[in-house]
Amino acid sequence: MARKITIGTRGSKLALWQTELVKRKLLEIFPELEFEVKIIKTKGDKILNSPLSKIGDKGIFTREIETELLKGEIDIAVHSLKDLPTKLPNGLTIGAVLEREDVRDVLISKGNLKLSELPQNSTIATSSLRRKAQLLNFRADFNFVDIRGNIDTRFKKFDESNWNGMVLAYAGVKRMGYTDRVSELIPTDIILPAVGQGAIAVEVREDDIETFEIVRKINHIETELATKAERALLKHLEGGCQIPIGAFALISDGKIKLSAMISNLDGTSLIRDSIEGDVNSDIEKIGIELAERLLEQGGAKILDEVRKAS
């Protein structure tokens, strides 16, 4: 009899798309397996009228799913990696990270204008402190409105508004079929993405070796290493939704280049640096080293101020 694997996921269209991708990749390798998808509502799905930074809860999109995983109600959990806290609950581990989509954020704008072309004092929709801080560092005249909800909802709100622009992650925009609405792929020298942005993670129980070995087959090693460096940096900075932190690791020719930033809330004090290392060295150590450099350059003071303000 074929083994049945139950996958836990959020119920949004994007979450289900990501779950189907994981399922399809596993079926290509293990056609004898059966899969059942179980939709689990998280705190983040229930609280839609508050910006994430105000909720200030690590694991807002993952905790309920992880609880089901620990209880054995599901066998694997599929998450957007950027939603997974850097410290996982005891007994859980990331079994696989799929090949990453383009990490950049995108601008959706009225009149198909780029960031530099938007009118003075333009209003941009985003709930991300990381995006707001870096956009204000780029152009201090921007104004912001908070926006939450799935991608379809955000586009509907934007189209019915008088806002000039909206900033989203390219990965979600592409996966939901809205690439024709993209006005600009924002360069990473203007906005560094969230840690893990564009990557899908498959979480399993540490003691479930059989399932771990199954999901390991769809792991993309370069994405895993790049996001490990980013997550080590974020963990060392103890950053969450309430802190404007961006990071992006790129691997090529056996080298890893990690870039990161810490900013205050209004973008007037933004520290950015990068580090290079050998991809075969201690990847997490590279992330910690860059985090230390950012803290020494004034990041510690910024983090302290942001935490006091939030």
Residues of the chain with CATH 3.40.190.10: 1-100+199-219, 105-185
> What CATH architecture is 221-310?
2-Layer Sandwich (3.30)
Instruction: Report in angstroms the alpha-carbon separations of 134 from 126, 188, 190, 214, 218.
Output: 12, 10, 7, 40, 34
Q: Is there a contact between 108 and 166 (Cβ–Cβ < 8 Å)?
A: yes
Computed on alpha carbons and rounded to an integer, the radius of gyration of the chain in Å comes to 19
- Identify the three-state secondary structure at position 89: coil
> What helix, strand, coil percent values describe the chain, rounded to 5?
40, 25, 35
Measured between alpha carbons, how far is 208 from 113 in angstroms, rounded to an integer? 50
Please indicate whether residue 83 is annotated as part of the active site.
yes
Give per-residue pLDDT as tens, 70-129. 999 999 999 999 999 999 999 999 999 999 999 999 999 999 999 999 999 999 999 899
Burial state string for 276-303 with b = 16 or more CB within 10 A and e = fewer than 16: ebebeeebbebbbbbbeebbeeebeebb
Amino acid letter at 263? S
CATH 3.30.160.40 placement within the chain: 221-310
Nearest CA among 188, 189, 306 for reference residue 237 = 306
What span, in angstroms and rounded, lies between the C-alpha atoms of 300 and 297?
8
CATH class assigned to 105-185: alpha beta
The band of 308, judged by pLDDT with boundaries at 50, 70 and 90, is confident
Q: What is the mean pLDDT of residues 121-150?
A: 95
Q: What's residue 238's pLDDT?
A: 82
Express each pLDDT in 166-220 by its tens digit. Answer: 999 999 999 999 999 999 999 999 999 999 999 999 999 999 999 999 999 999 9
Q: Which residue among the candidates 45, 57, 75, 83 is catalytic per the annotation? A: 83
Q: What is the value of pTM for the model shown?
A: 0.93
What architecture is domain 1-100+199-219?
3-Layer(aba) Sandwich (3.40)
